[in-house]
């Protein structure tokens, strides 16, 4: 699972460590290649089991520009098996960016990656397959055409991002680590900007708050998040509260979406037991409960490269069915 600072700590509980292969390292220039292969067995609506394979390939590059300053670049792509998606979605970009990193002042990158708002909800992003239901239509996942800054100063985190116009706005549905292609809306995004502040105490408590403003051609959307996590030895606890306010031109009233996410995990040698509860409701023009689910899971790390997991989602929304998946993944 994903990404920077707190998220790295969270996902360290979840995943077998990827062993990136260094393909070049000389004269201040380095390049690493990493990836994974995965196979999922899950239930389907017609009560039959399906098996789907996928792969991921990434490249990290870095070169020294001056003492304490490096040029950096990243490319990461999701590859789906032949029967798992139509031809147009067999290969999709996850992260594609270039930028600058410093020893003392953080880094700034240009391209496609997570917005600064992601860090405000990363505390509960611990699932391999499910999760993320409380964040639907609030945290939109990776975005293209961005400038993103991340910096850590002692125990404080600062993140900010700005996104340029996008005439075919996309957002993630469900867990962005599941490999499902981003959903195309056809809406025109004029611009957006996000900011997140965080603090991690020495005794294992972290708190984050974030804001993300989006200006569409036909209205505005403002997103907010507060989260906290606590780590001690093999125990991890996380909680997040999010809400969004949507106002469309020509539509009377304002729609609101709010949700909360609670997660916990505990490691016992090579076994990780984890789970959580997610709830989301909407008011105004899109009223009603949108998520009400428990997820129970366990994962086993064979070594630093290979792991397997099983996750079971108990969906309490009327008309929805429970879901389960069993998967094996090899990381390199």
Do 314 and 291 touch, CB atoms closer than 8 A? no
Per residue of the chain (332 residues), what is the pLDDT tens digit? Answer: 443 333 333 343 344 445 688 888 888 899 999 999 999 999 866 567 888 899 999 999 999 999 999 999 999 999 988 766 554 567 889 999 999 999 999 999 999 999 999 999 999 999 999 998 999 889 988 999 999 999 999 999 999 999 999 988 887 767 766 666 677 777 899 999 999 999 999 999 999 999 999 999 888 999 999 999 999 999 999 999 999 998 887 665 678 999 999 999 999 999 999 999 999 999 887 767 789 999 999 999 999 999 999 999 999 999 889 999 999 999 99
Q: For residue 177, what are the CA distances in angstroms to 35, 70, 78, 324?
A: 13, 28, 10, 16
How many folded domains does the chain comprise?
1
Helix (H) or strand (E) holding 252: none
Q: Tell me if 114 sits within 8 A of 2, measured CB to CB.
A: yes
| Residue 57 located in a structural domain | yes
CA distances to 70, 78, 102 from 25, in Å = 14, 26, 19
pLDDT at residue number 115: 96
Can you give the CATH number for the domain in which 245 is found?
2.40.160.10
Question: Cβ neighbours of residue 60 under 8 Å, at least 6 residues apart?
Answer: 20, 31, 32, 34, 72, 73, 74
Tokens of 31: 């390049």
Identify the bridge partners of residue 263 per DSSP, sorted by sequence position. Answer: 238, 276
Q: In 3D, which of 116, 134, 113 has the Cα closest to residue 124?
A: 134
* pLDDT at 159 (0 to 100): 98
Q: Whole-prediction pTM value?
A: 0.88
- pLDDT value for 248: 81
Is 1 contained in some domain?
no
Q: Which two tokens stand for residue 252?
A: 């009377």
The pLDDT of residue 136 is 85
User: Which residues form the domain of 298?
Assistant: 6-331
Beta bridge partners of 264: 237, 275
pLDDT at 36: 95
What Cα–Cα distance (Å) separates residue 285 from each residue in 110, 125, 171, 172, 253?
36, 29, 20, 22, 8
């Amino acid at each position: 699972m994903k990404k920077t600072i707190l998220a790295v700590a969270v996902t360290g509980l979840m995943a077998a460590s990827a062993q990136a292969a260094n393909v070049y390292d000389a004269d201040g220039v380095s390049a690493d290649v990493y990836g994974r292969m995965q196979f999922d067995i899950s239930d389907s609506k017609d009560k039959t089991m399906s098996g789907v394979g996928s792969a991921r390939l990434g490249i990290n590059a870095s070169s020294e520009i001056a003492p304490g300053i490096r040029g950096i670049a990243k490319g990461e792509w999701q590859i789906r098996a032949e029967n798992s998606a139509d031809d147009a979605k067999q290969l999709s970009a996850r992260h594609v960016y270039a930028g600058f990193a410093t020893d003392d002042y953080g880094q700034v990158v240009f391209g496609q990656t997570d917005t600064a708002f992601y860090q405000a909800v990363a505390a509960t992003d611990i699932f391999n397959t499910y999760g993320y239901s409380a964040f639907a239509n609030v945290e939109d996942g990776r975005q293209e055409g961005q400038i993103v800054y991340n910096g850590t100063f002692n125990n404080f985190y600062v993140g900010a991002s700005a996104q340029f116009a996008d005439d075919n706005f996309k957002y993630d549905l469900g867990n962005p680590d599941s490999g499902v292609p981003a959903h195309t809306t056809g809406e025109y995004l004029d611009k957006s900007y996000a900011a997140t502040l965080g603090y991690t105490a020495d005794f294992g408590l972290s708190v984050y708050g974030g804001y993300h403003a989006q200006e569409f051609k036909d209205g505005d959307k403002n997103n907010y998040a507060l989260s906290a996590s606590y780590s001690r030895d093999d125990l991890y606890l996380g909680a997040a509260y999010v809400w969004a306010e949507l106002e469309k031109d020509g539509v009377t009233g304002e729609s609101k979406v709010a949700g909360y996410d609670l997660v916990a995990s505990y490691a016992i040698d090579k076994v990780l037991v984890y789970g959580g509860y997610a709830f989301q409701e909407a008011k105004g023009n899109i009223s009603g409960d949108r998520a009400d689910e428990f997820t129970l899971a366990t994962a086993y790390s064979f070594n630093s490269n290979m792991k397997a997991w099983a996750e079971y989602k108990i969906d309490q929304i009327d008309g929805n069915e429970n879901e389960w998946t069993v998967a094996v993944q090899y990381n390199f």
